[in-house]
Amino acid sequence: MSAGAPKMRDLSELAARCRAHGVKATPQRVEIFRALLETREHPSPEAVYRVVKRRMPTVSLATIYKTLEALHAAGLARLVSHSGETKRYDGRLDPHHHLVCRSCGRITDFNHPALKDLALPHPVDDFITDEISVQLLGFCNAACREKQNKQENNNG
Ligand SMILES: [Zn+2]
Ligand SMILES: [Zn+2]
């Protein structure tokens, strides 16, 4: 586990949080919730599956998909959308922004004073804004950019 990773959670506390949000707290669901909260990697359902399977070998990928959707619908998880890719979930609910690598797909939390007090352009037609999340797209480092360039040259 990397430095600064969220610490282990109390399962009964997580189960209580699920129930408070109307999510049935089965042992599998609570483990899936825990796996999401214990990482800052913004995991895909497949990544959550790999972690939960180690603790609960009988869990199915379908259960992971359904549970993540239920947690999201209940407001216990956020969906980090970035175009064209598989779904990526975020257990962190406080306002924050993301750095998204176009090459390896890594998503890193990001905060900056200039983004903290973003003024809402209000109203935006009939759109009801309830959250602002900025995504900075680019590359983790020169190596990721190099890798992506190579791939594009091969495809082109
Ligand atoms: Zn990268
Ligand atoms: Zn995040």
Tell me the per-residue pLDDT of 38-66, one tens digit each, with 9 for 90 and over: 999 999 999 999 999 999 999 999 999 99
DSSP category for residue 127? B
Domain boundaries, the chain: 11-80, 94-155
Ion ligand 2 — residues with CB under 5 Å? 90, 92, 109
pTM value > 0.85: no
From first to last of its 156 residues, the chain has per-residue pLDDT tens of 344 445 556 899 999 999 999 999 999 999 999 999 999 999 999 999 999 999 999 999 999 999 999 999 999 999 997 556 689 999 999 889 999 999 999 999 998 888 877 776 667 788 877 778 889 999 999 999 999 999 888 876
Q: Is beta strand 107-110 parallel, antiparallel or unpaired with respect to 97-101? A: antiparallel
Q: What ligand has the least distance to the C-alpha of 93?
A: 2
The answer to whether the 11-80 and 94-155 domains have the same CATH topology is no
Q: What are phi and psi of 143, to 5 degrees?
A: -65, -40
CATH architecture assigned to 11-80? Orthogonal Bundle (1.10)
CATH 3.30.1490 fits domain 94-155: yes
